[in-house]
Amino acid sequence: MPDPTTTSTSALSRATGRYARAFALPGSLAFSSAGWLGRFPKGSLAIGVLVLVSAQSGSYALGGAVSGALTLALAVTGPLWSRVMDRWGQRRALALSLPVLVAASLGLVAAVLLGAPVWTWFALGILAGAAVLDVGSAVRSRWSAATTDPALRHTAYSVESVADEAAFVVAPPIVTLLASLVHPAAGVLVGLGIGVAGGVALLVQTGTQPALAPVRSAASPTRERLPLGLVGIVAVFATIGGVFGSFNVAAIATAEASGAGAASGLLLSAYSIGSVLTGVVVGAARLPGGPRSRFLVAGAVFGAVVPVLVLAGSLPALIALAFVSGLATSPLLITGSSLVESIAPRSRLTEALAWPPTGIALGATGGSTLSGLAVEALGPQSGFLVTAGSAALGALLTLVTVLLLRRRA
């Protein structure tokens, strides 16, 4: 009979070995670390601007409007910047975007603090959002260029999904804490500084950036098209964003209604911690099946588990179910990214990898809006109905997407 201790130790050794092999690839630790720092503007600017504008104007509605304009610009331009990275290289794209990001962000802070006309706040917020690159897709593209081993790529994409989650877990508390303890603008400035440092660190690492897309001649003006299946994957990621956005609103409303407003942080953290933990485990595991079957299973689990949030009868139960729901989220994010990598043309990989996060951003906007309406009309916990509906729709769209990909294979 095998010794359970020996078996578990062996499994742990194999798991850590996969991460060790991934980070043994030349330059991988450096570009992955820089990429994590470079994610901070995406995770901190919107909430930092919300806090800053709300504090200076006294209007949460205005703060949300300026923050929403920034987020929308970020979502729309992310894939465009990624196309620039595929065509002209990551170094050039970063060299173009970082100065604009710094100038627009500092200009926005100054405009708000000096009481400039409100239209300038929107203009500068949109410009700042438009200057934020999707660093996550840039780093995933570097991983793809670093290895052709499917197992290592799977582990690498798991690392980056965990990095996405970790950035969004760490950035908002830093922003809000600095804004409350130091100055309303401190969160924006610190998040910007960390992100720019990561962007510069990535910019100088030219040795690991992917090869440029080939220039098409006049005789061959067409370029490789993005696969139709990508639309389905982006739609699935939009439902994940719908879960994120609706859950955030419903969690805060439920905690405040129960008289324990501080518990909203526990709810949000429980979901994120669950997602991060699963991401680490999935990244170390050798999963059966191909990218499509993994995506299908992950979507089914997501659609079955997340809706149980509506069954919570108390705050402790809701925290526990939030953690469980988080466990079901990372596998769908990871398998979705792997599926994009497997179907996208090499010449447009960075752009293709940027579209799913855009779906998340747009879905989060819609999810938070619908959840807010549900909370106001039906009560705090009714916002979780939007969360459940988004997850169920995500499972359905996962099935439709996989069937579409199989028909076109």
Do 199 and 83 belong to one domain? yes
Question: Taking a C-beta distance cutoff of 8 angstroms, is the pair 41, 133 a contact?
Answer: no
Look-up of token digits 């996060």 = 357
Percent of the chain past pLDDT 70, that is, above it, reads 89
Which whole number is the average pLDDT over 255-263? 74
Tell me the residue type at 367. Answer: G
Rounded to two decimals, the pTM is: 0.75
User: What pLDDT is recorded for position 14?
Assistant: 59
Do 370 and 292 belong to one domain? yes
Count of the separate structural domains present in the chain: 2
- For residue 16, tell me if it sits in a domain: no
Q: What is the CATH number of the domain that holds 269?
A: 1.20.1250.20
**DSSP at 72:** H
* Poorest-pLDDT segment among 56-70, 123-137, 332-346: 56-70
- For residue 339, tell me if it sits in a domain: yes
List, for residues 181-212, the tens digit of each pLDDT value.
888 898 899 999 999 999 999 999 988 888 77
Phi/psi of residue 317, each to 5°? -65, -35
**Comparison of pLDDT for 320 and 65, the residue scoring more:** 320
Q: Which of 146, 179, 210 is the C-terminal boundary of a domain? A: 210
User: What pLDDT is recorded for position 218?
Assistant: 46
List, for residues 62-92, the tens digit of each pLDDT value.
877 788 788 888 888 888 888 888 888 889 9
Question: Taking a C-beta distance cutoff of 8 angstroms, is the pair 277, 358 a contact?
Answer: no
- For residue 169, tell me if it sits in a domain: yes
For 2, counting Cβ atoms within 10 Å of its Cβ (0-12 exposed, 13-18 middle, 19+ buried), the class is exposed
- Judged by phi (left if over 0) then psi (alpha if -120 to 50, else beta), residue 259 lies in left
Do 129 and 151 belong to one domain? yes
Which whole number is the average pLDDT over 98-124? 95
Of 95, 151, 139, residue with least CA distance to 294: 151
Residue 236: its H or E element: helix 229-257
Please state, in angstroms and rounded to a whole number, the distance separating the CA atoms of residues 407 and 405: 5
Do 205 and 237 belong to one domain? no
Please state, in angstroms and rounded to a whole number, the distance separating the CA atoms of residues 157 and 333: 9
User: What pLDDT is recorded for position 75?
Assistant: 83
Do 313 and 402 belong to one domain? yes
Of 305, 342, 29, residue with least CA distance to 160: 29
User: What pLDDT is recorded for position 248?
Assistant: 79
Locate 10 and state its tokens: 């062996």
Do 196 and 246 belong to one domain? no
3-state DSSP call for residue 2?
Answer: coil
Please state, in angstroms and rounded to a whole number, the distance separating the CA atoms of residues 338 and 343: 9
Q: Which of 150, 185, 210 is the C-terminal boundary of a domain? A: 210
Query: Distance of alpha carbon 349 from its chain centroid, rounded?
Result: 17
- For residue 10, tell me if it sits in a domain: no
Please state, in angstroms and rounded to a whole number, the distance separating the CA atoms of residues 276 and 368: 22
- For residue 164, tell me if it sits in a domain: yes
Q: How far is CA 272 from CA 30, 352, 405, in A?
A: 25, 25, 30
- For residue 188, tell me if it sits in a domain: yes
Do 198 and 278 belong to one domain? no
Q: What is the domain extent for residue 167?
A: 29-210
- In the chain, the N- to C-terminal Cα span, in Å, equals 45
Of 51, 309, 253, 47, residue with least CA distance to 170: 47
Percent of the chain past pLDDT 90, that is, above it, reads 31
Of 77, 335, 359, residue with least CA distance to 237: 359
List, for residues 2-58, the tens digit of each pLDDT value.
555 454 455 455 567 778 888 888 888 999 999 989 988 887 888 788 778 878 887
Please state, in angstroms and rounded to a whole number, the distance separating the CA atoms of residues 90 and 273: 31
Number of helices followed by number of strands (H, E) in the chain: 16, 0
Query: Distance of alpha carbon 266 from its chain centroid, rounded?
Result: 20
Tell me the residue type at 344. Answer: A
**Comparison of pLDDT for 114 and 153, the residue scoring more:** 114
Q: Which of 177, 210, 243 is the C-terminal boundary of a domain? A: 210
Do 184 and 102 belong to one domain? yes
Do 205 and 78 belong to one domain? yes
Question: Taking a C-beta distance cutoff of 8 angstroms, is the pair 222, 216 a contact?
Answer: yes
Instruction: Check whether 284 has a pLDDT greater than 70.
Output: no
Task: Show the CA angle centred on residue 303, arms to residues 298 and 374, nearest 5°.
Answer: 140
Question: Taking a C-beta distance cutoff of 8 angstroms, is the pair 238, 360 a contact?
Answer: yes
Tell me the residue type at 225. Answer: R
